[in-house]
Chains A and B, each alone.
Chain A
Amino acid sequence: MYTQAMDIPDESGKKLASVSNAPSEQEAAFEARIEADGRIEPQDWMPEAYRKTLVRQISQHAHSEIVGMLPEGNWISRAPSLKRKAILIAKVQDEGGHGLYLYSAAETLGTSREQMLEGLHSGKAKYSSIFNYPTLNWADVGVIGWLVDGAAIMNQIPLCRCSYGPYSRAMIRVCKEESFHQRQGYEALLVMMQGSEAQKAMVQDAVNRLWWKCLAMFGPPDADSPHSAQGMRWGIKRISNDELRQKFVDATVPQAKVLGVTLPDPDLKWNEARGHYDYGQIDWAEFWNTVEGNGPCNKERLATRVKAHNDGQWVRDAAQAYARKQQERAMKEAA
């Protein structure tokens, strides 16, 4: 799931300055393709800044999928029924699969998975901040499905029409699975809301903690969104942060009513004139604080990823050494 911070600046795209001296006809062909809403494919010429922007965005998205496995994975061992355990394992595994397609899509732009992981592990590359909050009760799993996957879908549906072919195709596949996750999450909450008072309280508690974080997933307000304009022009971004956020709020309020939970915003009310729900102020200071690495779980999440990677080094080395030996044997036999 989970593009949030797609236009959150990070250091992975810093070398934008290297201006390419492409012949203008290539540039013109690129611009014409974008203008005609066509797709750019890996073998096509593209401006260096377009390439860097995509690598940053797709790798942030991939990292989000992988880091996102942790907060939900936190509940696999304690899932209260075998059916829910199976659903959760499958979901977390799907997120890993999304990470794989996205790393592959980014690799078509000439950056290796190893390089992208290095960006994540060194803290240079960002991932969706929603995963820097803890999952404190079982209902968090359902609420993540309903709201976090839900917000991700809002963000990602426009990306199915992204100008970069491999990314748009990955998004079509990913969006189908995210919709499934969202329905499963919502269904789990419906069951809990028909259960005991304790179960209902878990759902409300999870909604209270996650609601505002989900609104922030759409990124900073349009006025403060540094990469948006260029992204729009290039067909990488199609709909602005604020528009997406509004769509999400409008879609979610009725769902919350059916569920019987209260969204924790006293300013949330229907605005007849606008034809939308009004909502209160997002705490952007807290958001940026978390993006900068100082949220409740940033250090833990990153350290967990780094440890898994380092602990797995001998496994990857073994696989490579074995493959090399097999190749040598095959060559000897052929000789």
Chain B
Amino acid sequence: MNAPADYLLHLADNAVVLGQRNAEWCGHGPILEEDIAMGNVSLDYIGQARLLYQLAATRLGGDATEDKLAYFRDDTQFRNYTLLELPHNGPLVGYAKADRDYATTIVRNFLYGALMVLVWDALEKSSDSDLAAIAAKSLKEARYHLHHAADWVVRFGDGTEESHQRVQAALDHLFPYTEEFWTPSAVEDAAVASGAGVDVRTLRAAWDAIVNDTLGQGTLVRPQGRGYVPEGKHGRHSEHLGYLLGEMQGLARAHPGATW
């Protein structure tokens, strides 16, 4: 059976939002090799988003297109995890423009990358053969993303005192946002019921194992869960998504109907 379009949008929104965020490092990386690597990661995410939006557009029919879905839906219609829309500046959030912190970027890519390796692996067996094909391609990319981020988590953790503090602070800041992975949503439940989606909650033990192993290698402490659970995948976001989409969508919306 085909995956519900909303489920495809959840996956696509995750990819486009994180792709957009990671691209903010372009030209500003801590070392040229990393600038290029982060561009690669971003490019993979934008590529995944395009395939998923294209598939969703086909399923939705009418005048839906990849770009209409990415550029002409409002923030409350976006179904991405809140984790992915946060700025790169760690706990110094708010709308102040603070410096990018590479530890925050890396930790987010790690926490999400560890999830997506498992999600794509499961979706390779999706009853939706189009989604399964996207999963097969995305899995290869996700493995690279996880590898890249995990390597840096370990280097930071077991590097200098400063890098250890920064990566631990980024973990403390971002870890609570991962709680959203494990909460149910009607969209995911419908996808699971159709045989096209994966029940993310069944992946939790495997995710824990990846995370604990890497944190152990990096001599880092896994933060304990806190009370607040974000609800981005339900369309209730942080303050940051509005800015991200305002920037991303502004030009396209100023010229509705234009072809680029």
Contact = CB atoms under 8 A, between A and B. Distances in A.
Do A and B actually bind? yes
Contacts of B94: none
Interface stretch (A13-21, A35-43, A171-179, A190-198): A190-198
Nearest to A91: B39
B152 to A, nearest CB: 8
Nearest to B22: A89
Contacts of A99: 32
Contacts of A311: 28, 30, 99-100
A191 B30 contact: no
Contacts of A93: 26, 35-36, 39-40, 43
B177 interface: no
B159 A100 contact: no
B34 to A, nearest CB: 7
Contacts of A313: 30
A322 B27 contact: no
Nearest to A308: B28
A318 B159 contact: yes
B251 A96 contact: no
A89 B43 contact: yes
A325 interface: yes
A96 B66 CA distance: 29
B46 A89 contact: yes
Contact of B26 (A82, A89, A103): A89
B114 interface: no
Interface string B135-179: 000000000000000000011101110110010000000000000
6 contacts: A82-B16, A89-B39, A96-B32, A199-B258, A312-B34, A315-B156
3 shortest A-B CB distances, which residue pairs?
A312-B30, A318-B159, A318-B163
Contacts of A79: 251
Contacts of B27: 66, 69-70, 73, 92, 96, 304, 308
Interface in A131-146: 138
B18 interface: no
B255 A196 contact: yes
A86 interface: yes
Interface residues of A, number: 48
B224 interface: no
B112 interface: no
Contacts of A86: 43, 46-47, 50
B14 interface: no
A96 B36 contact: yes
Interface in A270-328: 304, 307-308, 311-319, 321-322, 325
A97 B158 contact: no
A97 B36 contact: yes
Contacts of B66: 82
State the main secondary structure of chain A at its contact with B. helix
Interface in A86-106: 86, 89-90, 92-93, 96-97, 99-100, 103
Given A100-B33, A103-B32, A199-B255, A78 B248 contact: yes
Given A66-B32, A198-B255, A312-B102, A80 B260 contact: yes
A77 B100 contact: no
A85 interface: yes
B53 A82 contact: yes
A318 B28 contact: no
Contacts, number: 142
A76 B247 CA distance: 10
A196 B259 CA distance: 9
B69 to A, nearest CB: 9
B252 A81 contact: yes
B126 interface: no
B24 interface: yes
A318 B247 CA distance: 33
B32 A78 contact: no
A150 B39 CA distance: 23
A103 to B, nearest CB: 7
Contacts of B122: none
Interface in B65-108: 66-67, 70-71, 99-100, 102
Given A199-B255, A317-B159, 13 more contacts: A78-B251, A80-B258, A89-B26, A92-B39, A96-B39, A97-B36, A191-B259, A192-B260, A195-B260, A311-B99, A314-B162, A319-B31, A321-B160
A192 B43 CA distance: 23
Given A304-B28, A316-B30, A322-B155, A80 B252 contact: yes
A265 B247 CA distance: 35
B109 interface: no
Contacts of A322: 154-155, 158-159
* Most interface-central of B32, B33, B67, B166 (chain A CB within 10 A): B32
A188 interface: yes
A293 B24 CA distance: 26
A90 B43 contact: yes
Contacts of A308: 27-30
Contacts of A195: 258-260
Interface in B206-260: 247-248, 250-252, 255, 258-260
B187 interface: no
Nearest to A85: B46
B72 to A, nearest CB: 12
A83 interface: yes
Nearest to A315: B30
Nearest to A320: B159
